[in-house]
Amino acid sequence: MKEKSTDTAAKRRVFGKTGRLLRQFAGVFSLLLIFTAAFAYPPASAEDARVRIGADDENIVYMGRWKEDGGLMRGAFECGLVLRFTGTGVGLDGPASGTALIAVDGGEPEQITLGDGVSLFAGLAEGEHTLELYAGAQQTFPAISGFSLDAGARALTSPGGRIVEFVGDSITEGYVAPADAAGGANNSYKNSYAFIVGRRLMKEYGFRFSTVAYGGISIVERGKNTLGTDPLGMPERYFLDREYMRNATPEEERAAAQAWDTSKYAPDFIVINLGTNDTFSDTKTVAAATLQYLTALREAYKNAVIFVMTPFNGTASTALRRAIDLSEDAGIVLINTKSWDIKAGSDWLHPGPSEHGRAAELLYEVLKPYAEAPDTPADTDTYTDAPDTDTPTAPATDAGPTEAGETDGDEGGGKTPYLPYIISGAVIVAALSASIIVIKKTKK
């Protein structure tokens, strides 16, 4: 009996040690599971809870030619948009494409490629901000389906403003000779005098602006496309929803585009700079085509002030004057740019960036009285010369855009992924339950 008692006591000591080891192991294992779950599945981050602003949000101010297309907004020509928002950053949410210029709070525009999840700006000071986004150049066709903001941030209403629209060819679109690009893109809306003036009018007077321009386009219809440019003239192209694509004949191009509803975006001011590409058309033909265009614009926009600039190289100036005289329209203003002396760049045709800056300053001085007046000045001299000045416009600088990087895009618009937290919770509960069972068995 004594030997059996001794043997039983020994077994109890062994099992007692084993039980303690099991309890210690269970405790350590439970803690490891808890820490592993905590680090593997952290609490919902600000990125997870970002606020989505759909492309149809009423706080987005679209400028120029935009059309809704299955949940996306697609832009054409040199269009743009403005979005005011709170928080410290803004990005794209959902399908997006095209090349765009972006700026925040009036800063220097930077060119990016649009895509789902691309961060536009981050690390801004907490508060209210203004995003600008524009087509990078002709045929870049920006398309967006929405934006994302910080958790708790929101889109803000933008005040309404008068609209100025610029119309032209490659010069107005922003093309400069490659040798004159100074390290930047030689075909970029950012180069354009129209872009510079538009942004200044927006900053100083709350204007909205956009541009309808395409390289090589003329006033007179070219017919068959032998020069790689639009076979339609601007008097017809203007009333279509997008710029030239690739069709060789007027008939093919008309069939590929749709009519533009001019009631969607009615400018208060239209600034036209055409005629540079009408070198081989006679004065009478150009004047007739110009008069046709001016008449159509007046029919579409009853109260708009229409400015007609003479081309910087003087081409078709006589024809433009004749068309204005024939129109007998007091709301059409001729801007004679001869005294501006805007010089061509290295290709002997397109002004370089510095000359665009000068042209922007001079054009701004012409438009400034109209911007300051509550209504259109009634006693405007039809033949307006801009004041002489050599001061170029220098855009303000501010925070640059963040690099466009790969992100784990969530098309659900910032939904919180709950499944990982459910799994981690289940693991923790199971581990604690196992530990309690081991403890209870050893106590028995």
- Indicate the average pLDDT of the chain: 81
Mean pLDDT, range 410-417, rounded to an integer: 33
Same domain for 215 and 341, yes or no, is yes
How confident is residue 163, by pLDDT bands cut at 50, 70 and 90? Answer: very high
In this model, does residue 46 exceed pLDDT 80?
A: no
pLDDT of amino acid 246: 80
pLDDT at 249 (0 to 100): 81
Is residue 415 assigned to a domain? no
Report the distance separating Cα 143 and Cα 274, nearest Å. Answer: 28
Are 264 and 352 contained in the same domain? yes
Examine residue 268 and state whether it is found in any structural domain, yes or no. Answer: yes
Domain assignment present for 17: no
For residue 33, is it within any domain?
A: no
Bridge partners, residue 269, by sequence: 164, 305
- The per-residue pLDDT for 182 is 78
pLDDT tens digits, 269-281:
999 999 999 998 9
In a domain, 440, yes or no: no
Find, among 228, 376, 222, 230, the residue nearest to 289 by Cα: 222
Same domain membership, residue 345 and residue 270:
yes
pLDDT band for position 433 (cuts 50, 70, 90):
very low
Report the pLDDT value the prediction gives residue 387, as an integer from 0 to 100.
Answer: 39
**pTM for this predicted structure:** 0.77
Q: Are residues 111 and 242 in the same domain?
A: no
- What values do phi and psi take at 42, rounded to 5? -70, 165
Last residue in a domain, options 159, 185, 200 = 159
pLDDT over 60 at 303, yes or no: yes
SS3 sequence, the chain?
A: CHHHHHHHHHHHHHHHHHHHHHHHHHHHHHHHHHHHHHHHCCCCCCCCCCEEEECCCCCCEEECCEEEECCEEEECCECEEEEEEEECCEEECCCCECEEEEEECCCCCEEEECCCCCEEECCCCCEEEEEEEEECCCCCCCEECEEEECCCCCEECCCCCCEEEEEECHHHHCECCHHHCCCCCCECHHHCHHHHHHHHHHHHHCCEEEEEECCCCCCCCCCCCCCCCCCCCHHHHCCECCCCCCCCCHHHHHHHCCECCHHHCCCCEEEEECCCCCCCCCHHHHHHHHHHHHHHHHHHCCCCEEEEECCCCCCCHHHHHHHHHHHCCCCEEEEECHHHCCCCCCCCCCCCHHHHHHHHHHHHHHHHHHHHCCCCCCCCCCEEECCCCCCCCCCCCCCCCCCCCCCCCCCCCCCCCCHHHHHHHHHHHHHHHHHHHHHHHHHC
Residue 435 has pLDDT above 50, yes or no: no
Instruction: Select from 110, 127, 159 the last residue of a domain.
Output: 159
Domain count, the chain: 2
Residue 403 in any domain: the answer is: no
Report strand pairing: 208-213 vs 163-168: parallel
Q: Are residues 253 and 198 in the same domain?
A: yes
Q: For residue 144, list its beta bridge partners.
A: 73
Return the CATH number at 84: 2.60.120.260
Strand order in the sheet with 208-213: 208-213, 163-168, 269-273, 305-309, 332-336, 383-385
- Model pLDDT for residues 332-360, shown as the tens digit of each residue: 999 999 999 999 999 999 999 999 999 99
Same domain, 143 and 227: no
Q: Are residues 143 and 279 in the same domain?
A: no
Tell me, yes or no, whether 332 lies in a domain.
yes
| Residue 413 domain-assigned (yes or no) | no
Percent of the chain having pLDDT more than 90? 65
For residues 72 and 116, state if they share a domain: yes
Domain enclosing residue 106, as ranges: 44-159
- 203 and 83, same structural domain? no
Q: Are residues 239 and 342 in the same domain?
A: yes
212 and 67 in a common domain: no
Phi first, then psi: give them for residue 80, nearest 5 degrees: -160, 175
| Residue 251 belongs to domain with CATH number | 3.40.50.1110
Spell out a b/e string for 256-288, using b for 16 or more CB atoms within 10 Å of the CB, else e. Answer: ebeebeeeebebbbbbbbbbbbbeebebeebbb
140's tokens: 């870049």
Q: Is the distance from CB of 360 to CB of 343 less than 8 angstroms? A: no
Domain finish residue from 109, 130, 159: 159
pLDDT tens, position by position, 92-135: 999 999 999 999 999 999 999 999 999 999 999 999 999 999 99
CB 138 within 8 A of CB 246: no
Q: Specify whether 129 is located in the same domain as 201.
A: no
